[in-house]
Structure 1
Amino acid sequence: MSNLDVKPAATVCGGRDDVSAAPVRELLTARTVPLGESTVVRRLLPNLGRRMVGAWCFVDHYGPDDIAQEPGMQVPPHPHMGLQTVSWLHEGEVLHRDSLGSKQTVRPRELGLMTSGRGISHSEESPRDHARYLHGAQLWVALPEARRNVEPAFEHHAELPEVTGGGGLHATVILGEVDGAASPGTTHTPIVGADLTLGEGTAARLPLEPDFEYAVLTMSGEPEVDGVRLAPGSMLYLGAGRKALPLDATVESSLVLLGGEPFAEQIIMWWNFIGRTPEEITEAREAWHAGDRFGEVHGYAGKRLDAPPLPATPLKARGRVR
C-alpha cells in the first residue's frame, strides 16, 4: 500500500534513544489520511511521539467501511524500496498486482508480504465483485542495511500458525514467532506480528520476549491491555522488558501485536521509499519517473501514481543515535 500524501514529510526513524528499556503505557493518537479514491485511513506510525516499534515503521488502520456501493480500495501502481509491506485484513479482499507479475487476492487473516528490496512497484484494489465491508491494517517493515538491496519478492500465505492460550486468547502468527509457533513469512530482523482475538470474558497473559519492544493496535471491541482500555483504531506503545502481557476483555475484541528488537540503524522515510541518505531518496524518485528501475504493473485499469515534489528543505538524518 502507498503513502498517498501529496506533500509527504521526510521522517527520520531508527536509533535507540527513545526506546524504553522498561514497560510503559504510551497511547498514540492517529491522524486521518485519504488513501486513493474512496478509502480513509488512520495513520499511527510514524507518529510525533513514536516513529518505530522494532523494525515496524508504518501502520495504517482502515475500516470497517461499508463499500457495497463503492469501488473500495483503489491504489494505483506506485514504487517501494528498502522495506517490506504487510497486508492484513479482517474483512474484505484486496487484489495485489506487482512488477514481478504477481496477481493475488488477499483475504481475511491471510498474509500478503511484499519485499521491495532494491525496488518494486505494485497496485492494490478491491475486486470488482467484493464483500460489503473492508477492514484491515497496512504495515511496513524497514529492511536492515545488509538486506535492503535484496531482490524483490512477493509471498502469499493462506494458512498461518495459531496459538490458543488459556483464558479466552487466540493468536494467529503473522510474522516471527509467538509461544513456539513460527510464521512462514520471510523476516530480515528479529521481529514479531500477531493477530490476537479475545473472547468475551478473556483474562489471559501472552508470553513476550523481554528484549523486544512492543505495541498493540486495536482492531475491534474494547480490550484492556495491561490495564489500559483501548478503543478501536488506537495504538498503545508498551516499551520493552516484559516477559508477559496481561489481556482482558468483557466483549469480544481483536488486536494486532507488533514487536521486535529495537532498530538501531537510522533511516530516512519519504513517500514510499526508505533510504539512508538524501541522495538515495532523490535518485529513487527520479528513477520512478524515468521508468527504468521499479518495473511495470500490468492489468490495473488506471494510470500509475506520480511521485510528489521533494520538500524544499534538504532531507537530513538528525540525532537519535544511541
Structure 2
Amino acid sequence: MTVGRFLVRFTALVAVLLGSVACATTDSPIVPSNPTPPTTTSPDMPAQSYVLPLGGLWELPADSPTGRIPSSVGTIEIEGLGAFTFDPLDIQTTRPDIFAAGHFSVFDVVAHLGNKDWFTLDYHYKESLDTHVIDELDGRMNWWYRAYYSGGWSEINAYRMDMLPYKDGMTIKLNTQPEEYMGRIYNSFAEELLRKSVNLGRVVIPEVRIGTVVHTNVPVSAHDFRDDVLQPGTVTALDVLLSLADQKKINRLKLTWYSSSGDAAPVDSFRVGQIDDGDGIYDEEATDAGRWLYETGSLEFSGFSGSHICVPSDVRPIVSPEYMTWYWLGSPA
C-alpha cells in the first residue's frame, strides 16, 4: 500500500470519528493576530535557577531569561542535492500558530529554500496529522529528517518537522525513507489527533511516568513559560510537569536556565533540575552525578527509536502524545 493510499484510508477513518465529536477544525493552522518580536537575553548570561513554586505561584518572574532569535547563516544537507546555506533572518514560519515572531522550525528551512526555487518542492498542511507533509522534493517522495542542536549528535526521531524549533548552529539532514516507515510515522500523528478529538480538544496523556510513579490520564494545559519562542497557548513537554503541579501531584520543581553548556551554544532553555513528587525517590536536586531526562510521543517509537530526542522540554510543543517518561540518569540523588 502506498503512503498516499494509507493516508487516504486512515484520514477517512479519522474523519468519521471526528464527526462524532463536537470539535471545530480548520484547513490550515490558526494564525494569532499582531505578533510582536520578543526581547532577547544577553548570550553571556550565566546559569540561573528558579525553584517553584515561587511565592506560592507556579510561575517564573517577569524578568526571567529569554532565547535569542536565530541570526547566523545555517546549512542543510539534502540527499542527492548536496548542502544549501540560508540566512535565518529571511525565513518566515509556516506555523505562526506555534512560533513567536523571529522563530521557526526545521521544516520552515526546507520550505524557504523550495520557495526560492533552489529545488522543486511540493508540500501541504494536512489537518488530520496537524503537520506539513512533503509530497515531493526533487521529484522524489517519502522524505524525513534528522536534526540536532550545537553540541548534540544524530538521532532517530518521529517528531513533526514543522514543530521542532530551529537554533543557530543546528545540523539538519534530509533523506528519503521506506514508504512503510513514513506510513508508521504519519499513523502515529493521526492517532494523536484522534486521541485529542476524543478528549474534546484537550491534551490528555494516557500515561506519565516520573521515576517510579505512574500517573494516568493526565490533562495538560499551557503555562506559557516560553512565550519568547512559542505562541501563547502552545502546550509543551514541560507543561506536563507544571500541570501535575497544578493537580497537587508535584510539590517542587527546579528549573535552571542555560545560555550555553560545554560545546553546546546556544542552549537558551530551562533544564529540569528537580522533580519533588513526595515519593522519596530522586526527589532531591540534580547533581553532576545524576539528572532528569525525558521522552514523549508514540509508544511504537519509544526510547531511541524516535520518541527520545534532545529537544528541551520547555520548547518542545506536543499535540497529544501516548505517553511521557521522566527518568533519572546516573547515581541516586
TM-score range, shorter chain: under 0.3
Higher relative contact order, chain-length normalized (CA < 8 Å, sep 6+): 1
Give the TM-score of the pair, scaled to structure 1: 0.25
Higher strand share: 1
Higher helix share: 2
